[in-house]
Chains A and B, each alone.
Chain A
């Protein structure tokens, strides 16, 4: 079961932070179809937030077809997110790890790498739409 967190300084609405975290877990395979999300009571007694906020986040996830609520049982993951197979993910992750290692050796810091990655990603998306 995943544990939801909050970043009070992010400026992102609380319910959206919850939505993003669940999606992130779905992309990384931390959450799989059939997994149960924490109940509203579990989330609020952990984070001290309003139950309606969690309900709103779960409603949004249900609207997108990612989870389904079963009365009396809980909220369950319906489908995962992200393309590619698990094997592909593993391969790309190790490719990326090698890349990060190379960058570090060349003296790049985290911000340099993020900037580089974002710029390549942006270029590639631009080529696609061009």
Chain B
């Protein structure tokens, strides 16, 4: 953690909540693609995520989420394209790997180890290990250090795995389906504990899930992968602010649909409900139409059903 990143988030300035100033880019993929035995798991993925974000990576099974995360963590090499973490190409220098922690879907724990042994193992493997942080987190969660990992509940195992990952003090934490196989209480507990770690360390997090509702308030950046391609990448608040559900007479729907991108279009004989991306230049003055906000889940579902539509920031020139 460098001083300028601390200041960029909550530290410095007038209080503990100074707005982010010019966050550096945490994650950047350019034309990223991966082929397994003739099948493209990921095709031409380009995206850029600023530092300090908690990114929800969502998409149906087989959309390429795990492949993408493994590429980000440097565990596999791309067939084409490149991925950079804090400006460093992944997989080429040990220094870049030390800044990334990866939590695989099958929790990387040894059942026969006690929790304390798991921490010692983590300490041994990671030069920047923060033992005090790991112990403090586990104490707050009432997880006994002398218990064998195999004897812990699923939720506690997830917490131990998360604590080991956080104690590495990564700048980027990558988690593949961290909430899968957990009951609702454990899911909430893991997210609470993850958010506390983010508040404490200001790290960037990318986590995948196919349950959008678990991520609604925790994530402030959304990436939707579908059929191996990036369908959405953007700030959650901005995505919600620029998408509206428009309801009005069916006979006028074509006219409205011609003026703005429509993501979902459901019509009955009289009424049409259009989920549309509304820019500042496309207000709806006709009083016969009503407009209401959408939630993250509705937004994601609408896009997933229309794999040909995208919501991506306009391409910017990158100087490399």
Contacts and interface: CB of A to CB of B under 8 A. Distances in A.
Interface of A: 6, 8, 11, 13-14, 39-41, 44-56, 58-59, 62, 68-72, 74-75
Contacts of A50: 54, 195, 198, 217-220
Interface string B186-227: 001001111110111000000000000000111110000000
Contact of A41 (B13, B53, B200, B237): B200
Given A51-B198, A69-B17, A71-B11, A46 B192 contact: yes
Interface string B1-43: 0000000001111111101100000000000000000000000
B293 interface: yes
Contacts of B12: 71
A48 B188 contact: yes
A106 B194 CA distance: 52
Contacts of B52: 52
A45 B195 CA distance: 6
Contact of B293 (A11, A51, A72, A75): A11
B contact residues, range? 20 to 34
Contacts of B216: 8
A48 B16 contact: no
Contacts of A75: 15-17
Contact of A71 (B15, B191, B200): B15
A59 B19 contact: yes
Given A11-B293, A47-B217, A50-B198, A62 B15 contact: yes
Contacts, number: 88
Nearest to B11: A71
Contacts of A47: 192, 195, 217
Contacts of B16: 39-40, 55, 58, 69, 71-72, 74-75
B218 A48 contact: yes
A53 B293 CA distance: 19
Contacts of A14: 217
Contacts of B218: 48-50
Contacts of B295: 11
Contact of B192 (A11, A39, A44): A44
Contacts of A58: 15-17
A11 B240 CA distance: 12
B217 A53 contact: yes
Contacts of B17: 40, 54-56, 58-59, 62, 69, 75
A13 B237 CA distance: 9
Contacts of B194: 48
19 contacts: A40-B17, A40-B199, A44-B196, A45-B195, A48-B191, A48-B217, A49-B195, A49-B218, A50-B195, A50-B198, A51-B195, A51-B199, A52-B20, A54-B17, A69-B14, A71-B15, A72-B16, A75-B16, A75-B17
A44 B15 contact: no
B293 A44 contact: no
A45 B193 contact: yes
Given A50-B218, A51-B198, A69-B17, 10 more contacts: A11-B293, A40-B199, A41-B200, A50-B220, A58-B16, A58-B17, A71-B11, A71-B13, A71-B16, A74-B16
A51 B10 contact: yes
Interface in B208-262: 216-220, 237
Contacts of B53: 52
Nearest to A50: B220
A25 B29 CA distance: 45
Contacts of B13: 71
Contact of A69 (B15, B217, B219): B15
Contacts of B219: 50
Contacts of B19: 55, 59
A112 B293 CA distance: 29
**Most B-side CB within 10 Å, residue of A13, A40, A54:** A40
